[in-house]
Chain A
Amino acid sequence: MLFTIITILSALGLFAGLSFRRFWTTREEARSTILYAEIFKKYLAWLALRTVQISRKTSPKAWWEYVKALPLWRLPVLEKWLSICFYGSFLYLAASGFFFAMFIPRGLYGYPLVGHVMAGGLFAACLTVIVIFKGRNFISIPKPASLSLTLLDPRRMGITAARVKIAAFWLFVAAGFLLTLSALLPMLPLLRTPGQKFMFEFHRYSALVSALSATAFVTLEAFGMRRP
């Protein structure tokens, strides 16, 4: 129950943060006032408008067109299949894991569990390959920091979308490692019952971090290129 609440709250928080960022960076009316209440009202109005607009545009055909237009299909063969396996396994892991954790009291079981375990292995292998061959693209190059009070000022920390994306990537990788570890350790004759219980919860929260960081990364990636 606690996990469900935390999952819902953190998903809502991430959605609010990402959508507000998009509102703030793309809408002129966002900066037309300095009153927080007014900004919030405008944000809500924009959010409602966008929801209606998107829902009108949404259809299976539109989704299919969107999927077909993804750059994934134009990648070289190895990279393409790596991406298909990686995204596919992650989507199945997240869908099965969160659905059963939140809505099925018994938790994951049966064929979905077998699929989850198999997809987990595929995901771990793909993640490793991606980190080896793509990780270099996400190395941050910060300037050497100087000791001053500006370090504590968020506006001067240099938090940009690109840096958040990089942070999201490495957070995702770290969560992926913890997911792998928390899946592996209970299978080994090492942990007693309290350890097993801890690893079970640890796996769930690692999955939550992984899903949130992936969402942040994908959102920033998808909307970062289309600024007006």
Chain B
Amino acid sequence: MSRAGRSVLPFLSLALAAVLTFAANGLAQSAAKDSKKAVWDGDRTIPAHLIPLRDENDELIVPTETNPLPYSARFTCGPCHDYGTVRSGWHFGAMTAAKNGRPGEPWLQFDPKTGTILPLSYRKWPGSYDPKAVGLTAWDFTLLFGRHMPGGGPAEPSDEEVLAHPEARWTVSGKAEVNCLACHNKSGRQDPSEWAKQVLRENLRWAATAAGGVGEVGGMASRLKETWDIYDGPNLDDHEWAVVPSVKYRTVDFDSKHRYFFDLDYKPADGRCLACHSVSPKDEARWSTDADVHSTAGLKCADCHRNDLGHGMVRGYEGEAAETGNRTAASFTCRGCHLGESAAGEKSVVPGRLGAPYPKHTGIPLVHFKRLSCTACHSGPRPKDGFTRVRTSRANRLGIYGVATWATDLPQVIEPVYAKDERHRISPHRLVWPAFWAKFEGKDVTPLKPAVVEAAAGDILGPEARIARILVALNQVLAEDEVPVLISGNFVFAPNVDGGIDAAERPGAKADTAPFWGIRKGGDVLPLVPDFDPAAADKDPAVETRIQEFLQALGTIVGTPGPPVIVVRKTLYRIVDGYLDISEAPAELAEVSGTGWLTEGKFLPLASDFDLRTVTAKAGTEQTLTEEQVALVLGALSKTSEETDFVYVSGGRMFRLTAGGKLDSGKHAAAEPVTWPLAHDVRPAQQSLGWNGCTDCHSVGSDFFFTKLKGAGPLLTDKVEKRSASSFMGLGGLFQRFFGLSFIVRPVFKVVLGVCAVVVASLVFLAGLLFLGRLAGFLEKR
């Protein structure tokens, strides 16, 4: 090294040391600052949260000011609870999480019109699609599922995400920050329904304020122009439709220093968790359902599902401790809490937390503990009389109340499906059959967005809507005690409050009954237009008045094939220039009668054969598509891109068009059901499998092994996948039947073994006595 180099070296060393010292000092200060927020001082009470509300600009909110902004959790809660740490938690960090954890319930995109039930998850769970891969932006995802999200995550995207998708309306709606109140609010004012409504109104930045009962929020961001910004203030030109969202705070909860009182829980109440995590049997009365045995014993969800400020919830599955590095998690598994065993079966965990009893498991062979999870015997509904259909909060939109009905029956979620989990133990799972339209290229199946399918399908997917529009239009001109109906097959179709149609079965009616439009009055169904002679001098003038009303009402429907007409005995009624025009029917219409549309001089019935056939076929079922519709839509999709193969997945099978244009179905991995392990509800010990003996599961007709599961989906078809319960376990059904059969003779077998053991033991004992007697010389003298 040169002299100059040697002289420079000490300075460089000093500079490096200074930089390192500064950096270390900075880190230490940062750590100290963070730890100040994170470390508990030991006090077990919850401090009164009388705190100033701050908005998203970190400005103090004065509730009495004009147009105050909604409060921001980042700046209101953040000063004491580091917001950045919180938002990395389990409920908010799916998009950025490094580890996926045990598979959980995916988000299910359900679109009845296109028959889509698509499992989605930002976590890489088997069977679930990455929302980005199917073209869903964070904005789309938030609008789809924000109703059951606690803010944060996709609802609070990064600036890069916002800039990458200018078509999204983040600048109008704002971001839905982590909603601390969704879980920690003890106030009865916390309203998940309000949250859902605010999210659907795109009032994202206002949703927490409204749902928490902090203030009343009016207006809808979804109706504002995309150029609107929160600093633009109210829309002075429109006070009815495009009303800007605004907050009216509950001033009674503020003190004179503008501090707001939050009534908070450290451990969230069960109701807060259940707002998004309820699972209940479909069609079961609430009073007859039981809660989880742990809840019944007085435990709260958060007693076991704990977390620190990082909100990395303990999920409670075996292997979680090793996966997350959170050693405490090992004591909150079933085995950890009740047996004191780690996932590896070592007695390394302190058992009995929260008073967990030690299970006896008397007479249960060891193999059950090796091959089954605890939940197999203890959780979910008993596998009696087949599988249980349940509805979950997130899949079936439960817990949102209002004028409209939010809850849906589809997607069909089934439990308990016993399948091997990631630890190769048989455990109960929930199951859903995916259903979606997709591009099929090579081996890759890429689901299509419902909007793309709908655009390609045109009118094919709209029979219900078209018939509903007719019935709703007619309903406008009928008396209160009259309801327009369509009778087709053995069903009566009537309009409902949601603008759709409800189908009711007509007992005793024939399935091939010709379509008939009528008016239901009391228990009778009268023809829409009574039979009368238009040429008669004494005809009832009210009839023609009613005809005019019908035609005017039908004329309001958009997208009809032509103007509405009514033909009665070669007399044509139609509206011309707003007046009823009565004329002799032209020769082409001489043979027709009834209500319909006039198109290029031809008479078309009110509903086409296709519409009637389609709605009648689906009436009384849950299905939303017929095979005919699927074939037509696949044909329509193939016209959009002739070199691409399109498929539809439903009921465990993949449907595609053959070269001859027929609908063909086959198996495919993409059509396989999606499953995820269930843990709750845990049943009491007396209701666990095995309590009544081995034959709870091991019998010839065991529900546990041999219940049949049929694929289900939006498509009305017989071509569905059929699976036996044992097939999900990876076990041979024949062997299990044979093994089950052996339990018929097992009592005799036990008696035989017992007798043999007693006899052999007696003889061995006697022989031993004899030997000893001779050795001792007792028997020699005999």
B364 touches A140 (CB 8 A): no
- A193 to B345 alpha-carbon distance, docked (Å): 13
Q: How far is the CA of A197 from the CA of B771 in the complex (A)?
A: 34
Are B365 and A196 interface neighbours, CB within 8 A?
Answer: yes
Check if B738 is an interface residue, CB within 8 A of chain A: yes
A107 to B366, CA, bound (A): 11
Count the A-B residue pairs with Cβ separation under 8 angstroms: how many? Answer: 104
- B774→A181 contact, CB < 8 A: no
Contacts of B735 in A (CB 8 A): 110-111
The answer on a CB contact under 8 Å between A121 and B366 is: no
B399 to chain A minimum Cβ distance, whole angstroms, is 40
| Count of chain A residues near B, Cβ 8 A | 42
**Cα of A170 to Cα of B761 in the assembled complex, Å:** 11
Q: Does A84 contact B (CB under 8 A)?
A: no
Structural contact, B362 and A170, CB atoms closer than 8 A: no
Whether A144 lies near B761 (C-beta < 8 A) is no
**Which residues from 174 to 204 on chain A have a C-beta closer than 8 Å to any C-beta of chain B?**
174, 176-177, 180-181, 183-184, 186-193, 196-197, 200
Tell which of B361, B746, B749, B774 touches A192, judged by Cβ atoms closer than 8 Å.
B361
Residues of B within 8 A of A141 (CB): 774
Q: In the assembled complex, how far is the CB of residue B377 from the closest CB belonging to chain A, in whole angstroms?
A: 14
B739 within 8 A of A: yes
Query: In the complex, which residue of chain B has the Cβ closest to the Cβ of A197?
Result: B366
**Among A107, A131, A188, A192, contact of B750 (Cβ-Cβ < 8 Å):** A188
Are B776 and A125 closer than 8 Å at their CB atoms? Answer: no
Q: Contacts A121-B749, A191-B362, A192-B360 known; A128 to B760 CB distance under 8 Å? A: yes
Convert B352-381 into 0s and 1s, putting 1 for each residue whose CB lies closer than 8 angstroms to a CB of A: 000000001111111101000000000000
Whether, in the assembled complex, B752 has its beta carbon less than 8 Å from a beta carbon of chain A, the answer is yes
A127 within 8 A of B: yes
Q: Report how far A125 CA is from B360 CA in the complex, Å.
A: 32
Residue picked from A188, A189, A196, A200, most chain B C-beta under 10 Å: A196
Choose, from B46-54, B71-79, B465-473, B762-770, the stretch at the interface. B762-770
Assess whether A145 is interfacial by the CB under 8 Å rule. Answer: yes
Assembly CA distance A125 to B759 (angstroms): 10
Chain A residues positioned under 8 Å from B761 (CB to CB): 177, 181
B727 within 8 A of A: no
Q: Does any Cβ of A come within 8 Å of B777's Cβ?
A: yes
Which residue on A lies nearest to B754, using beta carbons? A184
* Chain B residues with CB under 8 A of A174: 764
CB-CB under 8 A from B753, the residues of chain A are 120-121, 124, 180, 183-184
B754 with A193: CB separation less than 8 A? no
Binary interface encoding of chain A residues 101-145 relative to chain B, with 1 for a CB under 8 A from any of its CBs, else 0: 000000101110010010011001101100110010011111011
- How many angstroms between the C-alpha atoms of A191 and B365 in the bound complex? 9
* CB closest chain-A residue, reference B339: A193
| Docked-complex contact A117 and B362, CB < 8 angstroms | no
B524 within 8 A of A: no
Chain B residue nearest in CB terms to A167: B771
With an 8 A cutoff between CB atoms, is B742 at the interface?
A: yes
CB distance B752 to A125 under 8 Å? yes
When distances are taken between beta carbons in the complex, the residues of chain A under 8 Å from B360 are 192
A135 to chain B, nearest CB (A): 6
Residues in B whose Cβ lies below 8 Å from that of A192: 360-362
| A138: chain B residues within 8 A (beta carbon) | 767
Q: Does B537 contact A (CB under 8 A)?
A: no
For B362, what are the chain A residues with a Cβ–Cβ distance below 8 Å? 189-192
Asked if B757 contacts A184 (CB within 8 A), the reply is: yes
- Taking the complex as formed, is A173 at the interface, i.e. its CB lies under 8 A from any CB of chain B? yes
**Does B775 touch A at the CB level, under 8 Å?**
yes
The answer to whether B291 has its CB under 8 Å from any CB of chain A is: no
State in angstroms the CA–CA spacing of A197 and B754 once bound together: 20
Report B-chain residues with C-beta under 8 Å of the C-beta of A184: 750, 753-754, 757
- A200-B366 Cα distance, complex, nearest whole Å: 8
Chain A minimum-CB-distance residue to B766 = A135
Which B residues, 704 to 757, have Cβ-Cβ distances below 8 Å to chain A? 732, 735, 738-739, 742, 746, 749-750, 752-757
Contacts of B364 in A (CB 8 A): 193, 196
Contact A193 B775 (CB under 8 A): no
B760 touches A127 (CB 8 A): yes
- In the complex, how many angstroms separate the beta carbon of B705 from the nearest chain A beta carbon? 14
Determine whether the beta carbon of B760 is less than 8 Å from that of A139.
no
B338 smallest CB distance to A (angstroms): 11
What is the CA–CA distance of A187 and B742 in the complex, to the nearest angstrom? 13
Q: How far is the CB of B692 from chain A (nearest CB, A)?
A: 11
A173→B764 contact, CB < 8 A: yes
Contact A144 B361 (CB under 8 A): no
Is there contact, CB below 8 Å, between B750 and A140?
no
Q: Does B780 interact with chain A (Cβ within 8 Å)?
A: yes
Specify the chain B residue showing the minimal Cβ separation from A200: B366
> How close is A143's CB to chain B, nearest CB, in angstroms?
8
B365 nearest in chain A by CB position: A186
CB of A152 to closest CB in B, whole Å: 15
Question: When chains A and B are docked, how far (Å) is the Cα of A53 from the Cα of B754?
Answer: 47
Q: Are B366 and A180 in contact, CB atoms less than 8 angstroms apart?
A: no
Q: Are B739 and A114 in contact (CB under 8 A)?
A: yes
A window 58-111: CB within 8 A of B: 107, 109-111
- CB neighbours (8 Å) of B759 from chain A are 128, 131-132
Tell whether, in the assembled complex, residue B363 and residue A189 are in contact, meaning their CB atoms are under 8 Å apart. yes
CB distance from B515 to the nearest CB of A (A): 59
A193 to B767, CA, bound (A): 34
User: Quick one: which of A140-180 are within 8 Å of B by CB?
Assistant: 140-142, 144-145, 170, 173-174, 176-177, 180
B764 touches A188 (CB 8 A): no
Closest to A184 in B: B753
Q: Please indicate the chain A residues that have their CB under 8 angstroms from the CB of B366 in the complex.
A: 186, 193, 196-197, 200
Q: For B365, B738, B749, B756, which residue has the most chain A Cβ atoms within 10 angstroms?
A: B756
Closest to A195 in B: B362
Partner of B363, one of A114, A176, A188: A188
A20-B732 Cα distance, complex, nearest whole Å: 49
Q: Using Cβ atoms and an 8 Å threshold, which residues of chain B touch A193?
A: 361, 364, 366, 369
- From B760, which residue of chain A is reached at the shortest CB distance? A177
A176 to B764 Cα, complex, angstroms: 11
Question: How far, in angstroms, from A78 to B181 measured CA to CA in the complex?
Answer: 83
Cβ-closest chain B residue relative to A140: B771
Contact (Cβ within 8 A) A114 B738: yes
**Is there an interface contact between A145 and B775, defined as CB atoms closer than 8 Å?**
yes
Which residue on chain A has the smallest CB distance to residue B757?
Answer: A180
> Could you say which residues of chain B place their CB within 8 Å of the CB of A181?
757, 761
Q: Is the CB of B749 within 8 A of A190?
A: no
Residues of A within 8 Å of B746, CB to CB, are: 187
B335 CB, nearest partner CB in chain A, Å: 12
Name the distance in Å between B781's Cβ and chain A's nearest Cβ.
9
- Given contact pairs A110-B735, A197-B366, A144 touches B774 in the complex (Cβ within 8 A): yes
Contact assessment for A170 and B742 in the assembled complex, using a CB-CB cutoff below 8 Å: no
State the Cβ distance, B349 to closest chain A Cβ, in Å.
16
Q: Which residues does chain B contribute within 8 Å of A109, judged by CB atoms?
A: 367
> Would B764 and A180 count as touching, CB distance under 8 A?
no
Contact residues in A for B361 (Cβ distance below 8 Å): 192-193
Taking the nearest CB of chain B, how far is it from the CB of A111, in angstroms? 6
Give the docked Cα–Cα distance between A197 and B362 (Å): 12
Q: A135-B763, A144-B777 are in contact. Are A124 and B756 (CB under 8 A)?
A: yes
Given known A-B contacts A190-B362, A196-B365, A180 and B756 have beta carbons under 8 A apart: yes
Of the candidates A117, A125, A170, the one whose C-beta lies within 8 Å of that of B767 is: A170
- A176–B752 Cα distance when bound, in Å, is 14
The CA-CA distance from A111 to B742 in the complex, in Å, is 12
Considering the complex of A and B, which 10 residue pairs feature the smallest CB-CB distances, nearest first? Answer: A144-B777, A189-B363, A124-B756, A180-B757, A128-B756, A184-B753, A177-B760, A131-B763, A128-B759, A193-B361
29 A-B pairs in the complex with CB atoms less than 8 angstroms apart: A107-B367, A110-B732, A117-B749, A124-B752, A124-B753, A124-B757, A125-B752, A127-B756, A128-B760, A131-B759, A135-B767, A140-B774, A141-B774, A142-B774, A144-B775, A144-B777, A173-B763, A177-B761, A180-B753, A184-B757, A186-B363, A186-B366, A190-B362, A191-B362, A192-B361, A192-B362, A193-B366, A196-B364, A200-B366
6 further A-B contacts with Cβ under 8 Å, apart from A128-B760, A190-B363, are A110-B735, A125-B756, A131-B760, A138-B767, A140-B774, A180-B756
